[in-house]
């Protein structure tokens, strides 16, 4: 963090340090690039802007579990903001991919130049491909399965037979969804590794 504070004014790293200092936050190990995206994209460090940024990143090709989970929670909690999330998603679809950007590589670059890269290098993304749909569906199945299991868990310790039967079937269903999602992801990863090794 001190290294970022020492960078020249106007650099991405300096702006990240200033933003974290203003919000009384520290860099979290493993999530340094997350703060970079807040600064480059102009999203504030508020819950709403966090969800908006995840919508943008999903549109930008960041199909990770945290990104999808935060966006789903945000959509459930803030249904009146769906149009805003949809606009952020669309914006992310046409912008130069930034999910691999890191502070180590881009911290000393000028923030203005980084924003210019994003706005000037707009791309036309193809519609969803089958592997992307499978990956998204696998994550959705796993999330649904875990929620199903967690919801049923307290009823499995009940002394009532009705509770055990009523919670047992959805719990097994949640387990099947979670395992199915994991298998789909592992098959998808295995196929992509085979393609890379050829």
Does the pLDDT at position 192 exceed 60?
no
Residue 186 CA to residue 158 CA, distance in Å, equals 35
CA distance to 2, 121, 146, 181, 186, per residue, from 73 (Å) = 34, 31, 14, 19, 25
Which residues in 118-147 are b (16+ Cβ under 10 Å) and which e? Answer: beeeeeeeeeeeeeeebbeebbebbbbbbe
Largest alpha-carbon pair distance within the chain?
68
Give the pLDDT score at 88. 92
pLDDT of residue 196: 47
> How does residue 128 score in pLDDT terms, banded at 50, 70 and 90?
low
Average pLDDT over residues 121-134: 67
Window from 5-14, 63-72, 117-126 with minimum mean pLDDT: 117-126
Q: How many CA atoms lie within 13 A of 123 on its CB side?
A: 14
Task: Retrieve residue 109's tokens.
Answer: 């670059």
pLDDT above 70 (res 197): no
Rounded-to-integer distance, Cα 45 and Cα 20, Å = 9
Q: What DSSP string describes 157-173? A: G-S-HHHHHHHHHHHHH
């Amino acid at each position: 963090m001190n290294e970022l504070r020492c960078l020249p004014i106007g650099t991405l790293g300096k702006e990240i340090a200033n933003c974290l200092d203003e919000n009384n936050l520290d860099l979290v190990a493993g999530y340094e690039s997350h703060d970079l995206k807040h600064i480059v994209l102009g999203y504030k460090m508020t819950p709403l802007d966090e969800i908006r940024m995840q919508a943008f990143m999903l549109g930008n090709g960041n199909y990770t579990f945290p990104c999808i989970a935060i966006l789903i929670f945000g959509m459930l909690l803030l249904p009146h903001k769906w149009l805003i999330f949809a606009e952020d998603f669309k914006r992310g679809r046409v912008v130069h991919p930034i999910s691999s950007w890191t502070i180590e590589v881009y911290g000393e670059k000028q923030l203005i130049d980084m924003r210019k890269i994003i706005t000037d290098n707009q791309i036309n993304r193809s519609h969803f491909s089958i592997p992307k749909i499978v990956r998204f569906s696998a994550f959705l199945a796993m999330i649904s399965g875990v929620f199903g299991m967690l919801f049923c868990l307290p009823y499995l310790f009940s002394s009532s037979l009705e509770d055990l039967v009523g919670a047992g079937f959805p719990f097994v269903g949640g387990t099947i969804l979670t395992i199915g999602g994991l298998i789909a992801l592992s098959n998808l990863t295995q196929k992509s590794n085979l393609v890379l090794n050829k």
